[in-house]
Amino acid sequence: MTRSHGGSIVILTGAGISKESGLDTFRDTDGIWAKVRIEDVATPEAFARNPSRVHEFYNTRRRRLLAEDIGPNAAHRALTELEAQWPESVLLVTQNIDDLHERAGHRQLIHMHGELLKARCAFCGCIRAWRADLSVALSCDACGRSGGLRPHVVWFGEMPLEMDAIFSALAACKLFLSIGTSGHVYPAAGFVGAAASHGARTVELNLEPSAGTSLFDESIQGPASVIVPAFVQRLLAG
Ligand code: BV8
């Protein structure tokens, strides 16, 4: 077992790590927000106003995620290898709601924006695995009420998940990696500042410089499936 690099690592991933797996990003020119408006599909107000429209948006993405041509890529697998080599030292925080990190075998991860393959009852809060379409006609099998099942996803204006655990990991980490994210969405975009303020070394790995690239000690550009395995090998080589 190689010794960890001498401290804990927090890794933040965004939609860019899943792009080469065939899933759309959000803010690229062909991205999701170029086709639909956040205000129509990714806020609690949108769900209250037109739940079927929101369900259609997530049903389409869920079906895409479960299509047979979708799977983890070399970047997901490289992070799983890093975790396997340094099991107590790596915490992965993903903004993604796909399950590609899990399918690559990653074990310790936080989905701070929720999970597309889970549903939550707006009435009783019950969360369960969900791979089929959601609709307003469905009733919750825990509380029996219908019309309240929603994707277990954090919308704009909602509090991301496990923030206390994330900020305590950022305060303790020696290395913070940001992979495949444009650095536009908060509070995730503020993690680099939190890590740096506690003395961590910060590295960005992205196809192009993110909005927060100047905040990083090092910025590596390229496709994740190329630069992430190379970076992980460099880390493991010591
Ligand atoms: C909240 C789930 C408060 C839904 C998403 C300051 C502080 C706090 C909040 C705010 C603030 N300023 C503004 C806000 C409000 C808002 C916000 O940040 N707005 C932005 C637009 C300005 N934030 C919120 O509302 C958050 N909540 O603050 O709550 C609160 C306080 C108290 C009590 C209650 C509430 C909640 C934000 C979460 C919203 N949900 N996702 C879904 O997925 O449908 S966010 C959405 O953006 C995405 O889902 C994704 O998770 C997130 C980030 O996007 P990225 O992953 O970065 O994707 P993007 O396309 O932008 O970039 C991809 C990158 O990859 C690019 O740079 C590209 O170059 C690169 N790339 C492409 N190909 C490759 C590649 N890299 C490598 N290899 C490749 N091949």
Q: Which of 71, 93, 152 is nearest to 118 (CA)?
A: 152
Distance of CA 95 from the midpoint of ligand 1 (Å) = 7
Q: What is the DSSP letter of 129?
A: E
- Determine the distance separating the centroid of ligand 1 and the alpha carbon of 149, expressed in angstroms: 23
Give the integer Cα–Cα distance in Å for 127 and 121: 7
If pLDDT is split at 50, 70 and 90, which confidence band does 4 have? low
Residue 219's SS3 state is: strand
Q: Is the pLDDT of residue 5 over 60?
A: no
> Rounded to a whole number, what is the distance in angstroms from the first to the last CA of the chain?
12
Mean pLDDT value across residues 11-37: 96
Question: How many residues can be counted in the chain?
Answer: 238
Determine the pLDDT at residue 118: 98
pLDDT tens, 136-189? 999 999 999 999 999 999 999 999 999 999 999 999 999 999 999 999 999 999
pTM of the full structure: 0.96
State the pLDDT at residue 2: 47
Confidence at 209, pLDDT banded by 50, 70, 90: very high
E-assigned strands of 68-186? Answer: 90-94, 109-111, 114-121, 127-129, 149-153, 175-179
SS3 content of the chain, % helix, strand, coil (to 5): 35, 20, 45
Q: Is 111 a catalytic residue?
A: no
Cα dihedral 214, 218, 224, 226 in deg (nearest 10): 140
Q: Beta partners for 110?
A: 93
Do β-strands 149-153 and 114-121 pair in parallel, antiparallel, or remain unpaired? antiparallel
Mean pLDDT of 24-28: 95
> Which of 111, 113, 152, 198 is flagged as catalytic?
113
Report the run of H or E that residue 142 belongs to, with start and end.
none
To which residue do tokens 């080589």 refer?
A: 237
**Residue among 152, 156, 213 whose CB has most ligand 1 atoms within 8 A, to mutate:** 156
